Amino acid sequence: MDLTGIRAVLLDMDGTLVESHAAVERAWRTWSAEHGVDSDAVLAVAHGAPAETTVRRFLPDAGHDAVRTAAARQLALQYDDLADVTPCLGAGELIGTLARRGLPWAVVTSADVRLATARLSAAGITPPVLVTVEDVPAGKPAPDGYLRAAAALRVPPTACLVVEDAEVGVRAGRAAGARTAGVRGVAADLTVADLAELARLL
């Protein structure tokens, strides 16, 4: 894929920019045990999606308030679980490349602002723009987060590159009209081994 027309990069957080899979898995396994649902089934679909979306899927009879409470509990399990949260491979190289090239960038995450801030801080990353699930009417796979980030950077979505490690996020990026790059083997317009490879291509 030709990247010469890219004017901004929009990055997912968990699993893309910040290595937090272990913490995410621990939280979902604890939550699943508390609610009597199959944790393996939950983990098969939870990554990259807002907590409420996953909760609603596994607690189909729960009302709106109960879903919100259950989702809040899942996020609360993660707030202080930061011991093994680190930057993903190549994150520093990519951020440095973006700075040298003068390319604006943003983080778009399905986490809430408290969790996103905690994880990014633990990884030593300060994004110029942060869009969380609390900032948009609909989370991924809806395009709202990526559209908001593009608008904040004043770059048309069609000139943005969305970087994701989950199929649900790739769908969100495409729905926004952006080009997409996938890491961790996720199929996208461009698939790279890690952020270091993406940095070299940019």
Same domain? 196 vs 134: yes
Same domain? 141 vs 72: no
Task: Give a yes or no: residue 3 inside a domain.
Answer: no
Chain centroid to CA 98: 19
Same domain? 101 vs 28: no
Task: Give a yes or no: residue 94 inside a domain.
Answer: yes
Task: Give a yes or no: residue 168 inside a domain.
Answer: yes
pLDDT at 4: 87
In Å, what is the CA distance from 8 to each residue of 87, 128, 137, 192? 20, 12, 23, 18
Same domain? 33 vs 13: no
> Beta-carbon neighbour count of residue 104 at 10 Å?
18
Same domain? 169 vs 102: yes
Our answer to whether residue 81 is catalytic in this structure is: no
pLDDT at 84: 93
Same domain? 104 vs 183: yes
pLDDT in tens, the chain (202 residues): 889 899 999 999 999 999 998 998 999 999 999 999 999 999 999 888 889 999 999 999 999 999 999 999 998 998 989 989 999 999 999 999 999 999 999 999 999 999 999 999 999 999 999 999 999 999 999 999 999 999 999 999 999 999 999 999 999 999 999 999 999 999 999 999 999 999 999 9
pLDDT at 131: 98
Same domain? 194 vs 98: yes
Query: How many domains, the chain?
Result: 2
Same domain? 72 vs 90: no
Q: Which of 55, 76, 97 is the last residue of a domain?
A: 76
- Quote the domain boundaries for residue 30: 21-76
Distance CA 138, CA 163 (A): 19
- Output the domain CATH number for residue 111: 3.40.50.1000
Same domain? 89 vs 153: yes
Same domain? 103 vs 196: yes
Task: Give a yes or no: residue 89 inside a domain.
Answer: yes
Same domain? 70 vs 95: no
Task: Give a yes or no: residue 2 inside a domain.
Answer: no
Same domain? 162 vs 180: yes
> Beta-carbon neighbour count of residue 124 at 10 Å?
11
Our answer to whether residue 84 is catalytic in this structure is: no
pLDDT at 80: 86
pLDDT at 10: 98
Task: Give a yes or no: residue 1 inside a domain.
Answer: no
Task: Give a yes or no: residue 105 inside a domain.
Answer: yes
Listing from the earlier edge strand, what are the strands of the sheet with 179-182?
129-131, 105-108, 8-11, 160-164, 179-182, 190-191
- Tell whether pTM > 0.75: yes
pLDDT at 34: 95
pLDDT at 165: 96
